[in-house]
Amino acid sequence: MTYPAPAPRGLARDTRNKMIAGVCAGIARRYGISTGGLRLAFVISCILPGPQFIAYLVLWAFMPRDDRY
């Protein structure tokens, strides 16, 4: 008997690999990229003008927690 493949996981905050809220870790896990690289890219992007910090706060507020790990 074969079982169907599990559905891909949606975007959720990673509560086990978090540094602040788990937003970068959740995005990195969802898209299969390096967590450290994504965090570094986010910190560097905060030097540039734009709503990066506000976007992080919005994602922190609205991304569900993923406590499965």
Range of the domain at 41: 18-62
Q: Is the pTM of this model over 0.75?
A: yes
Answer yes or no: is 51 within a domain. Answer: yes
Answer yes or no: is 48 within a domain. Answer: yes
Answer yes or no: is 11 within a domain. Answer: no
Answer yes or no: is 8 within a domain. Answer: no
Answer yes or no: is 68 within a domain. Answer: no
What b-and-e string marks burial along 8-45, b requiring 16 or more CB atoms within 10 Å of the CB?
A: eeeebbbeeeeeebbbbbbbbbbeeeebeebbeebeee
Domain count, the chain: 1
pLDDT tens digit string along 21-69? 999 999 999 999 999 999 999 999 999 998 999 999 999 999 998 877 5
> Who's near 38: CB < 8 A, 6+ residues apart?
24, 27, 28
